[in-house]
Structure 1
Amino acid sequence: MEILEKYIKATNTHSFDEVRKLLHPNAMFFFSDKSCITHEEIQTYFETAWSLVKNENYEAHNVIWLFKENTSATCTYTYFYEGYVNGEYTSGRGRATNVFVKKSDKWLLIHEHLSPLPK
């Protein structure tokens, strides 16, 4: 679905104003080290990550849409990121689940859950 592509593109702008345009007012994010339940908490988490990983590129691989209806859609994927930490190239992967809802004819992200890949 196009909404996931828009979300990935917005994330890669490194501007939370672009990400915010795609977030539901009740959006909640679960990261491996923190849960963020307000836009302010989500913004702080994103901006901290962007300040640590310079020139970060974020991608979604192996996307599987578990559910798609008129007002809700859920997908899982393997996320991939790359960038520079303290001038050295770094990259990583993990698991992601995103839940989108349609509000006033616009798709919005209401939940994201990121976790490490199983060992």
Structure 2
Amino acid sequence: MPDRTCLEAELAAFMAEYERATNSHDLSRVVQFIAEDAVYWFSDGSHRGIEQIRSAIGKTFATILDEVYELRDLEWPVLTADVAVCRYLFAWTGVVDGELRSGRGRGTNVIVRRDDGLKMLHEHLDS
């Protein structure tokens, strides 16, 4: 089993790639990080499965134009080679209804290792 430092580095890189994909506003890039059976909890509701999650993220991309999403202060309260839990702070800025807006909050993700690599199994954002 890899040591904690190696696992943290691998998972931090995964989260950074997820952040970059989100900031691309390209749904096809974002969903590559998400497990088919994932569940996401956003302020607008719960989304079960990749199609519901794709729809919810697409709605966000359409609502918040030019969004920049930032993750910081990642913590790993659970960290194994196959499952990890990440807690973090997030912030976003973008244009909503023609006005510059921003927000911030806390996030929790469950990341699992599957045959096709690391995948988000759960995301919970709280603003």
Counting matched residue pairs gives 116
Shift in alpha-carbon separation, 1:40–1:105, aligned structure 2, 3 A: closer
Structure 1: which 4+ aligned runs deviate by more than 4 Å?
none
Consecutive unaligned residues of structure 1, counting only runs of 5 or more, are none
1:53-93 Cα deviation digits (max 9, x unpaired): 11001111221111211101111111101001122111000
1:87 corresponds to which letter in structure 2?
G
Residue 33 of structure 1: how far off its partner (Å)? 2.3
Structure 1 position 87 matched with structure 2 position 103? no
Find the counterpart in structure 2 of residue 78 from structure 1: 89
Find the counterpart in structure 2 of residue 44 from structure 1: 55
| SS of corresponding position for 2:28 | helix
Coordinate RMSD, CA, aligned: 1.1
1:108 corresponds to which letter in structure 2?
K
| SS of corresponding position for 2:24 | coil
For residues 33 and 51 of structure 1, the distance between their equivalents in structure 2, rounded to whole angstroms, comes to 15
Find the counterpart in structure 2 of residue 109 from structure 1: 120
Consecutive unaligned residues of structure 2, counting only runs of 5 or more, are 1-11
TM-score (norm 1): 0.92
Find the counterpart in structure 2 of residue 66 from structure 1: 77
| SS of corresponding position for 1:78 | strand
